[in-house]
Amino acid sequence: MNAVLCSTGCLIGRPNGRNFRLLETCIDRLICDGFEFMVYEDWYACMPELADYLKRLPAAFPTLHCEKKIGEKLSSEQYEEREEGFACFLKNCELAEAIGSLRLVLHLWNGMVSDSHIERNLEAFGRLFETARAHGLELTVENVVCNHADPWSHWNALLKEYPDASFTFDTKMAAFHGQLELLYEPENEPVLQHIHHFHVNDYGGGYKDWSHLKTLHIGSGNVEFAPFFSYLGEQGYKGYLTLEETSFAADGTIDFETLNQSIRTVRSYLEQA
């Protein structure tokens, strides 16, 4: 059975101080099946406290989204900064294991540097993979937007070196690169069989339209979700789908009503698939 997760990044961000203790006020107001916990760099100094807090909550966190700047550090030409990236990744793994997560989502490349030094990021993957496995976690690489090449080509390059690699497919990221339809093409099966997790969100721009990169609520953009969910049904996908759509306002208040409506929409698509 498919389960719909809500990313905690939908709820917690800069406008509400990245206050992870807000989660206890959110759980009973959402109709999701669990959460994908999004790690922020602000929390490295309080990881034990964070882990203890999350373990006390009446909620499941089967997936953890690694702190996003790890990929930027791994692309650095400075050895010390790359080592810092590995150290940060280890802290994410330790947190994931402590709260009972089974899967990690990683931006292997990220930020302004993006994939400009992709060879360094790909080279780092082996060590990341072994670290995750040592903590009982499946590491998945997300199809993060690129400013040089594209996510699909990087996935292919990764599989040539690491045939056991796993991926998280994000609908917005794919739409940004015009790669959503690659899911439906049988010749892409060598890559498709490595997609073990999905992020569901909308996108309002065109091909590589950086001005419209904001994550939207489902139905607020131009992603065609009917064929996407039909594909999942045809493939017999039974796993987690994480809803990722920014749902806090400039003053930090959270729009639970719209977020819950998106969860209902996803479930409706899944029932029809």
Task: Enumerate residues 6+ apart whose C-beta is below 8 A from 45.
Answer: none
Tokens 């010749």 belong to 187
On whether residue 27 sits in a domain, the answer given is no
On whether residue 163 sits in a domain, the answer given is yes
At 169-193, the pLDDT tens digits run 999 999 999 999 999 999 999 999 9
Q: How many CA atoms lie within 13 A of 136 on its CB side?
A: 10
* CATH code, domain with 176: 3.20.20.150
Q: What are phi and psi of 85, to 5 degrees?
A: -60, -45
Structural domain span for residue 133: 34-223
Model pLDDT, residue 1 = 72
What is the domain count for the chain? Answer: 1
On whether residue 25 sits in a domain, the answer given is no
At 61-98, the pLDDT tens digits run 999 999 999 999 999 999 999 999 999 999 999 999 99
> Residue 176 is encoded by which pair of tokens?
């940004």
On whether residue 248 sits in a domain, the answer given is no
CA 151 to chain centre: 14
On whether residue 107 sits in a domain, the answer given is yes
Q: What are phi and psi of 128, to 5 degrees?
A: -60, -45
On whether residue 261 sits in a domain, the answer given is no
Whether the CB-CB separation of 168 and 175 falls below 8 Å is answered with no
Instruction: Answer yes or no: pTM beyond 0.75.
Output: yes
At 51-68, the pLDDT tens digits run 999 999 999 999 999 999
For residue 8, pLDDT beyond 80 = yes
At 138-162, the pLDDT tens digits run 999 999 999 999 999 999 999 999 9
Three-class SS state of 141 = strand
On whether residue 106 sits in a domain, the answer given is yes
On whether residue 103 sits in a domain, the answer given is yes
DSSP 173: H
